Amino acid sequence: MTPLLCVDLGSTFTKAALVDGDTGELLATTSHPTTVATDVMDGVDACRAALAEQRPEALDAPLLACSSAGGGLRIAVVGNEELVTAEAGRRVALSSGGKVVAVLGRASGQADYRALAEQTRPDVVLLTGGTDGGDVDGALAGARALVASGWRGPVVVAANPDAVPQLREVLAGWPVQVADNVVPRIGVLEPGPARLAIREAFLRHVIGGKGLSTRVDLAEVVSGPTPDLVLTGVEVLAAETGDDVVVVDVGGATTDVHSVVRLDPEEAGLAREVVAPSPVTRTVEGDLGMRWSAASTWEAATGAGLEPALPQSAALRRTEDPDLLPATPAEVEEDLALARVAATLAVRRHVGRSRVVVGPDGRRVERSGTDLREVGLLVGSGGVLRHADPARAAALLDGLVGPSPEGWQLPDHPRVVVDRDYVLAAVGLLATSHDDRRAAAAALARSLARWHSTGV
């Protein structure tokens, strides 16, 4: 047996799983409040000690880690036309495990770039623009505007390769990484290389600069941002089950939706997007969450006509006291009500709708967002679901299942599970750590559905 300690350094809790690196067997799990105020490795040590009480081999187990501590990864996208390369860059940034904090294009003024440097202050800028052999001016204009703004952080360039030599000159002296173009041809989106480059920029320039540990070089310990590793785990899960998969992760500050679906070329022709849909998609809803974003979740739900089953005062209390833990049955009910509307809104924003439109050629179906109707596996994640009674978690997730009379492209008849042991991050860590561990990652992913079916 080769035990491995897989750890997610979360913004609130550090979650740890002891996994057999040969078989993928989950040996033990635990969590501890993330120790940002002292050293994040203190929380890792606490998790290791707790696991060692159950499994002594945890004391010497090699560490695999991902992190969203210290605010996670904040990405700004600079592109050409907002509807094309800037939108493509936004999708790549989201799939890379970052929260997109700004999207600027050709129409953005210098005041927008100054605000980026002085107020938004992203961790990484993703610079896009032009197809292969096409326009070079858009990416160059964005690079020059960045220089003029005074911002000097790392830049990932994923633009027309013909512009790269000039971009290197404009950005001389900056930390720059070059990846393949995200839009090599009109209607084609290639997110993979840029996603890897963003992960590398996160490790080199972001995670080590947050002052989270004085004991170790976190850039040597952490494999990447937590949402990126979770999305990798979802990709492994989809490959191993043969299903289209969607994961809804309800967190304290954001609600994330990850999906891996097989694209139907005929169905893709019905989409309204100017950038081709991608089989792997992640959306982050920064106004939907259980604590820091509780008040805005209540407001968004009310605005959407969902009528959240908790008073506004209860949502405000959670925003003002993000460390609040439900202590009474009534507070548990309030948390579940908040999670229900957060998950519903996040999934709706992810999937978009189908509708009938009338044009010169008659009536036709037009779609937006990611079509999840054929999804075979729906996974719920997040503390509120992990700690809920299984029947209550099932009832909450049942609201995310279609068919929808309003046209939301929800899963029609999925199997529904809850990631109660938070193994998707561990799956991603195993899959990316070493080729020899991909079999263990696959086995751990397959086990998820067997362990925690809600029975929906």
- Give yes or no for a contact between 129 and 163, defined as CB atoms under 8 angstroms apart: yes
What are 246's two structure tokens? 């969607």
* pLDDT higher than 70, residue 357: no
* Chain Cα centroid distance, residue 147: 29
Q: Under a CB-based contact definition with an 8 Å cutoff, are residues 19 and 65 in contact? A: no
Give the integer Cα–Cα distance in Å for 133 and 360: 35
In tens, the pLDDT along 233-265 reads 999 999 999 999 999 999 888 899 999 998 765
Residue type, 53: E
Output the CATH code of domain 71-209: 3.40.50.360
Euclidean distance between CA atoms 8 and 150, whole angstroms: 34
Domain ranges of the chain: 3-61, 71-209, 225-451
3-state secondary structure of 13: strand
SS3 56: helix
Higher pLDDT, 92 or 164: 164
Q: Is there a contact between 121 and 84 (Cβ–Cβ < 8 Å)? A: no
Q: What number of helices (H) and strands (E) belong to the chain?
A: 16, 17
Asked whether residue 449 carries a pLDDT value surpassing 90, the answer given is no
Residue 294 near residue 315, CB atoms below 8 Å:
yes
Q: Can you list the alpha helix ranges (DSSP code H) found in 106-163?
A: 110-115, 137-149
Give the residue among 225, 266, 196, 205 at the shortest CA–CA distance from 98.
Answer: 225
Q: Outline where DSSP puts E strands in 117-237.
A: 124-127, 155-157, 176-178, 222-225
Our CA angle for 271, 275, 276, nearest 5°, is 60
Confidence tier at 196 by pLDDT (50, 70, 90): confident
Instruction: For strands 63-67 and 3-9, give the pairing.
Output: parallel
Strands 3-9 and 13-20: antiparallel
**For residue 78, what are the β-bridge partners?**
104, 127
Phi-psi region of 5 (alpha: psi -120 to 50; beta: other; left: phi over 0): beta
Residue 268, pLDDT above cutoff 70: no
Candidate from 199-213, 357-371, 408-422 with smallest mean pLDDT: 357-371
More confident residue, 225 or 110: 110
Phi-psi region of 341 (alpha: psi -120 to 50; beta: other; left: phi over 0): alpha
pLDDT at residue 334 greater than cutoff 60: yes
pTM: 0.81
CA distance 18 to 414: 29
CA distance 74 to 110: 21
Residue 250 · residue 217 · CB < 8 Å: no
Q: ∠361-366-368 over CA atoms, to 5°?
A: 155
The H-assigned helical ranges of 352-389 are 383-386
- Separation of alpha carbons 190 and 278, rounded Å: 8
Q: Is the pLDDT of residue 345 over 80?
A: yes
- The answer to whether residues 442 and 22 touch, using CB atoms and an 8 Å cutoff, is no
How many Å separate Cα 164 from the centre of its chain? 28
In order, the DSSP letters of 407-421 are: -B---SS-EEEE-TT
d(CA 247, CA 46): 29
Q: Using the 8-state DSSP alphabet, how is residue 117 labeled?
A: I
Q: What is the pLDDT of residues 279-304, one digit of tens each?
A: 888 888 878 899 988 999 999 999 99
**Out of 39-53, 141-155, 254-268, 425-439, which region has the weakest mean confidence (pLDDT)?**
254-268
Query: Are 108 and 116 in contact, with CB atoms under 8 Å apart?
Result: no
38 three-state secondary structure = coil
